Amino acid sequence: MPTSNASTFVVVPTYNEAAALRQTLLPLVYEGYSVVVIDDCSADNTLDTIQDLSLHYLRHPINLGQGAALQTGMRYALLQGAEYVVHFDADGQHDHREIQTLLAPVKVGEADIALGSRFQRANDVEAVPVLRRALLKVATIVNGVTTGLWLTDAHNGFRAMNRRALAAIQITENRMAHATEILSLIRQHRLRYREVPVHIIYTDYSKQKGQSALNAFNILIDLILKKLLL
């Protein structure tokens, strides 16, 4: 049975993203999604820029990291009765028009969670900066070895899930290692998953805010060290 967009909670972790956040949220609010913003103790005027929008606003009293912000939003969505949850970045690099495409295999019961991939369509691959593309390819191998899930992409924050996945995925990695932890939890709880092609929008702003190749390298090192310390 079809559901309204209100049953889909779009979880948006944010930290000092006031410059881009409003423009990111406007189409989500306009299309009737239940938007949950988790302000991870931003020091800018985040709340001032969005306080007139119809959304759910949560704030961490201290900065905990993206993984913790996602877990706060997911827990809140579960308690609010969300039927579906979508992870969506605050910096404008995700396309709101792709949400329904990402949700499609989940809504028809083919998957519990859908994972966005930048490496399934030629135009999506071309949009990824060359150095970052190479690092992500290495990261997919590390993820495969550490989690047993062999995907085409790594650390893509665009995801969609049903209530089964929402209840099963309990993130304990507060910072960037949460992306690998999610994959481990998918395997641990035997969640059905699908990769769905998505187009990531790389802007000067998003690169400055942490989407650079250096950040991808830091994530890769974090993965390797985590595996060695286990």
**pLDDT (tens digit per residue) in 108-123:** 999 999 999 999 999 9
SS3 at position 212: coil
More confident site: 82 or 222: 82
The answer, yes or no, to whether residue 212 has pLDDT greater than 80, is no
For residue 169, which phi and psi values (nearest 5 degrees)?
Answer: -85, 105
pLDDT given at position 82: 98
| pLDDT value of position 2 | 40
Q: What is the architecture, at CATH level 2, of domain 5-229? A: Alpha-Beta Complex (3.90)
| Backbone torsions φ then ψ of 193, nearest 5 degrees | -135, 155
Average pLDDT over residues 21-43: 98
Instruction: Give the pLDDT score at 177.
Output: 85
State the pLDDT confidence band at 137, using cuts at 50, 70 and 90. very high
* Cα radius of gyration rounded to whole Å, the chain: 16
Q: List the chain domain ranges.
A: 5-229
Sign of CA dihedral 151, 156, 158, 161: positive
Kindly tell me if the per-residue pLDDT of 214 is higher than 90: no
Is the per-residue pLDDT at 216 higher than 70? no
